[in-house]
Chains A and B, each alone.
Chain A
Amino acid sequence: MLDLMTGNAAAAKAAMLARVEVIAAYPITPQTSISEKLAEMVANGEMNAKYIKVESEHSAMAALIGASYIGARTFTATSSQGLALMHEMLFWAAGARRPVVMPVVSRALGPPWNIWTDHMDVMGERDTGWMQLFCENNQETLDLILIAYRVAEDKEIMLPAMIIEDGFILSHTFEKVDVPAIEEIDFYLHPFNPDVKVNFRKPRRYGSLVMPDWAMEFRYNNALAMEKAKKKWVEAGIAFKKAFGRDYSSLVELYRCEDADVALIISGSAAGTAKVAADRMRERGRKVGVAKLRTFRPFPTEELLRLGESVRTIGVFDRSYTFAQGGAIYGEVRNALYPLASDVKVKGYIGGLGGRDITEAEFEKMFEDLLAIARSGSMTKDVEWVALKDGSWRWF
């Protein structure tokens, strides 16, 4: 049924719909209201989960790994500094193949101390072995958490997943969200019943000390699972469309790219703004498109190559910076498109750091910039900081 709710409320609702059994959460702006909503639902009996009030995010993830080894479906949520504190345990959950699902309400990492959104926190965790998906709106936050459990707990995958909603811009923004009935979700998402869990009749040591002779092969199996997850996300997306009508059957959602001269690759809430800007440009006869990269891990290399076959000038908008060559997504997109390097131009745009608002006007400027590159065939700068106070960008 349709309801008006914030992104955080949608995340908490998804946990309830997924019949989560163990929650361990620690407050941090802007994630906190997820923890509060969960505590309220548990207290009112709306959720029949055990809620562990841990004393740190590090302990939150540790507790859930323990709980998952017993066979319980687990859930937590965090942001920024909390996610960074969890870093050690993120590797642990992935290596232990424990399918924890965690919404991350993305927020800048200090200093400078900043409670607003950017993707520096989540990009810092891209090598931990977690699946990472970005949400454009609160509906996606709810839907992707449910799909995430189905993929994460798939016996061939058994990898944890991060569902990323932008701090404040989504977490504290009320939007219409269609909330499926829990019985419908029970049909889509079966109870968690892992093969690998504590069994008193066959006592085992979980974790173990693996020497150089086999450690690499265990890590290779992790890598294979992440590769296999691409197909699993598409299958689970198709099944979700059949059950609830909303289409998540692609890792990259192409918006008006079929005949586009240029396209902008973008993740998160700003994708919506970029789509509106693209529509405006289309009204003025400019053929531009938006490629919303929903699934960052596993990285959709194949879908991006197909995009590069049709669109020869591609921009990548990052709300992160890697202190190397541009933003995180930009680097990985150029890497993926390397086979098409001679025909495709890829430009990186960095913006929206520390909660800086990104407007439709700025996206139109980026599209104009990309169109100029497409026409001239030359690119003066590979990476540009958008709306940086350097005197060049005028605010209208």
Chain B
Amino acid sequence: METYRDLPQSTYSLQTTESVRTGTWRTFRPIIDTKKCTRCYTCWKFCPDVSIELREEGDYPKVDYDHCKGCGICANECPTVAITMVREDSIC
């Protein structure tokens, strides 16, 4: 997309927001302890950023750290306190 000639005629979207790495917004990251996790999927259900992944029912929930904003809802709602929020180790 270099000039006005490359633009669509009007402003309609061309792709989803998946390429935006909102994971860099967080200060704390959730860590799931699969020993305590009962796979009740409460964390998956309450994640506002669609950042807890489940390929199949029965899998353990997995955090997508590229997108997780570290809001901490999953940790707060987990019935067996299997998720802890750990401060992000700064890369520089």
- Residues of A at the B interface (CB closer than 8 Å) are 95-97, 158, 195-196, 204-208, 210, 214, 217-218, 220-221
Least CB distance, B71 to chain A, in whole angstroms: 23
Asked if residues B9 and A221 are in contact (CB atoms below 8 Å), the reply is yes
Q: Does any Cβ of A come within 8 Å of B7's Cβ? A: yes
Asked if residues B9 and A204 are in contact (CB atoms below 8 Å), the reply is no
Asked if residues B7 and A207 are in contact (CB atoms below 8 Å), the reply is no
Contact for B9 among A158, A208, A214, A220, CB less than 8 A: A158
Binds A, one of B10-18, B28-36, B82-90: B10-18
Asked if residues A204 and B4 are in contact (CB atoms below 8 Å), the reply is no
Q: Does any Cβ of A come within 8 Å of B3's Cβ? A: yes
Given A217-B3, A217-B4, A220-B4, the answer on whether A196 and B13 have CB atoms closer than 8 Å is: no
Q: Does any Cβ of A come within 8 Å of B8's Cβ? A: yes
Cα A206 to Cα B11 with chains together (Å): 6
Contacts of B7 in A (CB 8 A): 214, 217-218, 221
Chain A minimum-CB-distance residue to B8: A196
Asked if residues A205 and B12 are in contact (CB atoms below 8 Å), the reply is yes
Overall SS of chain B's interface: loop
A-B contact pairs, 15 of them (CB 8 A): A95-B10, A95-B11, A96-B10, A97-B9, A158-B10, A195-B9, A196-B9, A205-B13, A206-B10, A207-B11, A207-B12, A210-B11, A214-B1, A217-B3, A220-B4
Contacts of B12 in A (CB 8 A): 196, 204-208
Cα A207 to Cα B8 with chains together (Å): 12
Chain B minimum-CB-distance residue to A98: B10
Cα A220 to Cα B8 with chains together (Å): 12
Contacts of A158 in B (CB 8 A): 9-10
Contacts of A218 in B (CB 8 A): 4, 7, 10-11
Contacts of A214 in B (CB 8 A): 1, 7
Asked if residues A208 and B13 are in contact (CB atoms below 8 Å), the reply is yes
Chain B minimum-CB-distance residue to A206: B12
Cα A210 to Cα B10 with chains together (Å): 11
Least CB distance, A363 to chain B, in whole angstroms: 44
Most chain A beta-carbon contacts within 10 A, residue among B7, B10, B14: B10
Cα A195 to Cα B12 with chains together (Å): 12
Closest 4 CB pairs of A and B: A217-B4, A97-B10, A205-B13, A208-B11
Cα A96 to Cα B8 with chains together (Å): 11
Cα A7 to Cα B52 with chains together (Å): 63
Chain A minimum-CB-distance residue to B13: A205
Least CB distance, A222 to chain B, in whole angstroms: 9
Asked if residues A196 and B10 are in contact (CB atoms below 8 Å), the reply is yes
Contacts of B4 in A (CB 8 A): 217-218, 220-221
Asked if residues B10 and A204 are in contact (CB atoms below 8 Å), the reply is no
Least CB distance, B3 to chain A, in whole angstroms: 7
Least CB distance, B9 to chain A, in whole angstroms: 6
Contacts of A217 in B (CB 8 A): 3-4, 7
Cα A217 to Cα B4 with chains together (Å): 5
Chain B minimum-CB-distance residue to A222: B10
Cα A137 to Cα B75 with chains together (Å): 73
Contacts of A208 in B (CB 8 A): 11-13
Contacts of A196 in B (CB 8 A): 8-10, 12
Contacts of B3 in A (CB 8 A): 217
Least CB distance, B79 to chain A, in whole angstroms: 35
